[in-house]
Homo-oligomer: A and B are copies of this chain.
Amino acid sequence: MRLFATLLAGSLLAAPALSQNFDVAALRDAALKDDVAWDITEGLTTEIGPRLAGTEAEARARAWSVARLKALGFANARIEPFDMPVWVRGEEKAEILSPFPQKLVLAALGNSGATPDDGITAEIAMFPSLAALEAADRAQVQGKIVFVDHAMGRTQDGSSYGAFGGARRKGPSIASKKGAVAIVIRSIGTDFHRNPHTGVQSWEDGASPIPAAALSLPDAEQLNRIIARGKPVTMKLTLTPRNIGTRQSGNVMAEVPGRDPSAGIVLVGCHLDSWDLGTGAIDDAAGCGIVAAAAKRVMDAGKPLRTIRVVWFGAEEVGLRGGIAYRDAHLQEKHVVLAESDFGADRIYKFDSYVNPAALPVIDALATALAPIGIARGHNQARGGSDIGPLAATGVPVVSLSQDGTRYFDLHHTPDDTLDKVDRAQLAQNVAAWTAMIATIANSPVELGPVAPTGGK
């Protein structure tokens, strides 16, 4: 209780930035020994495993999550369901027939069209970048299997994903519109294992679905070398994914009720669904573990001023469906701040915010609390990605705790996204940072808004 006494005193007597240092620091440091985030990550990946949005596995994950959040002591643990169309993977095989017969490893992209069960055979038309495909004449593409390469490299902030991800997001529609019979891309990833990176793509207006898949990097480079020999390259491709119609997904929510119900909600989120190839450990069971563990640590220290709402969103991977459903259902509630953990489990190295300039003293206090665990202060133009993006865009303050993404795109959306990739010490550093952030903001009476809407989805 000493924490809140200090806070209340501080809010009356001094700048909020100075009111809570000691106790936040103690909570932060205790969290460096956290086991709760690991237990959630281990449990979800082991007892559920892959949990593709809208499938029975994701439904099992929701039931598991409500039970776990209740067991941790949260209030109001519940599911908010929504419906969605569901696409599921089928068989996937690729084989060079000539000039050098051999199999290649690939995985269908989300919403890929299907080949006949016995596959299609066509010549490869290679483009070294998405821009080259965009610039191509229809005659270069028509009737071909397009192969789009790119030069994505690893970056700490993950910015190469935005820069090169267009090959996946837009490549299939462009290829389809130019008459390609299929498209294969170099995986949007940075590792050199025979594990392709899947991910969602959507068909633009006027683009009819064609088979669309990603080759692992070793396979993409093999195809490059084969093409470089200068002979026509023929591929047989078999992809049999299916659209199985409308199914239910949902968001899982739980709360730490605040002392003042009118003081609004500190929303901390992650996503519960995963791609189907791995067990979704770094994307995003770890995020769910981090935000729940941190919220529990603040809860166990005493009732906070504001309500803390933990949201494990559904159906993030297939188009932020959970985030959109949440925005539509909860737009009228008072959200003090939105924050999401969805970039793996490696250490947090900086944080950004989006608050009214008048509230920057709260961010100053947060910077003070985070610096001792190696976290630098960034800018005040955070946008809030992933599931919180739709609501954030309407004009809600955001805090972004940036994880080191140097190895994130080695694992993201691949079969290799498994528990062994989670570093427990770095996971606990995340919990410490989130604990400090939640304790700082949920107990500060300072309003972080208003902020201007930023638009977008």
Indicate whether A194 sits within 8 Å of B195 (C-beta atoms), given known contacts A100-B47, A100-B48, A419-B221: yes
Indicate whether A222 sits within 8 Å of B415 (C-beta atoms), given known contacts A194-B278, A195-B193, A278-B194: no
Interface stretch among A101-109, A131-139, A250-258, A354-362? A101-109
Indicate whether A225 sits within 8 Å of B194 (C-beta atoms), given known contacts A218-B416, A420-B217: no
- Please determine whether A222 and B102 come into contact, CB atoms closer than 8 angstroms: no
Indicate whether A57 sits within 8 Å of B101 (C-beta atoms), given known contacts A222-B279, A279-B222, A420-B217: yes
CA–CA, A226 and B47, complex, Å: 7
- Please determine whether A194 and B415 come into contact, CB atoms closer than 8 angstroms: yes
Q: Return the contact of A103 from the options B50, B192, B414 (Cβ within 8 A).
A: B50
CB-CB nearest in chain B for A217: B420
CA–CA, A100 and B217, complex, Å: 32
Whether A42 sits at the interface, judged by CB under 8 Å, is yes
Nearest CB in chain B: distance from A231 CB, A? 11
Residues from chain B with a CB closer than 8 A to the CB of A45 are: 222
CB-CB nearest in chain B for A276: B103
- Please determine whether B192 and A195 come into contact, CB atoms closer than 8 angstroms: no
Residues from chain B with a CB closer than 8 A to the CB of A170 are: none
- Please determine whether A225 and B46 come into contact, CB atoms closer than 8 angstroms: yes
Task: Specify how many copies of this chain sit in the oligomer.
Answer: 2
- Please determine whether A46 and B100 come into contact, CB atoms closer than 8 angstroms: yes
CB-CB nearest in chain B for A42: B225
Total chain A interface residues with beta-carbon distance under 8 A = 33
Indicate whether A420 sits within 8 Å of B218 (C-beta atoms), given known contacts A101-B57, A195-B194: yes
Nearest CB in chain B: distance from A262 CB, A? 43
CA–CA, A3 and B318, complex, Å: 68
Whether A49 sits at the interface, judged by CB under 8 Å, is yes
- Please determine whether A420 and B192 come into contact, CB atoms closer than 8 angstroms: yes
- Please determine whether A100 and B229 come into contact, CB atoms closer than 8 angstroms: no
Residues from chain B with a CB closer than 8 A to the CB of A414 are: 194
Which residues of A in the span 181-220 have a Cβ within 8 Å of any Cβ on B? 192-195, 217-218
Residues from chain B with a CB closer than 8 A to the CB of A101 are: 49, 57
Q: Return the contact of A49 from the options B42, B46, B100, B193 (Cβ within 8 A).
A: B100
Interface string of A42-83 (1 = CB under 8 A from B): 100111111000000100000000000000000000000000
Residues from chain B with a CB closer than 8 A to the CB of A421 are: 192
- Please determine whether A416 and B47 come into contact, CB atoms closer than 8 angstroms: no
- Please determine whether B193 and A419 come into contact, CB atoms closer than 8 angstroms: no
Indicate whether A419 sits within 8 Å of B222 (C-beta atoms), given known contacts A101-B57, A102-B49, A103-B50: yes
CA–CA, A109 and B258, complex, Å: 58
Whether A121 sits at the interface, judged by CB under 8 Å, is no
- Please determine whether A418 and B222 come into contact, CB atoms closer than 8 angstroms: yes
Nearest CB in chain B: distance from A394 CB, A? 38
- Please determine whether A194 and B100 come into contact, CB atoms closer than 8 angstroms: no
Known: A47-B226, A222-B279, A225-B419. 16 other contacts (CB 8 A): A46-B222, A46-B225, A49-B100, A49-B101, A49-B102, A50-B102, A102-B279, A105-B415, A192-B420, A217-B420, A218-B416, A218-B419, A218-B420, A221-B419, A221-B420, A222-B418
17 A-B residue pairs with CB within 8 Å:
A42-B225, A46-B225, A46-B229, A48-B102, A49-B102, A50-B102, A192-B416, A193-B193, A193-B195, A194-B416, A194-B418, A195-B195, A218-B420, A221-B419, A221-B420, A222-B279, A225-B419
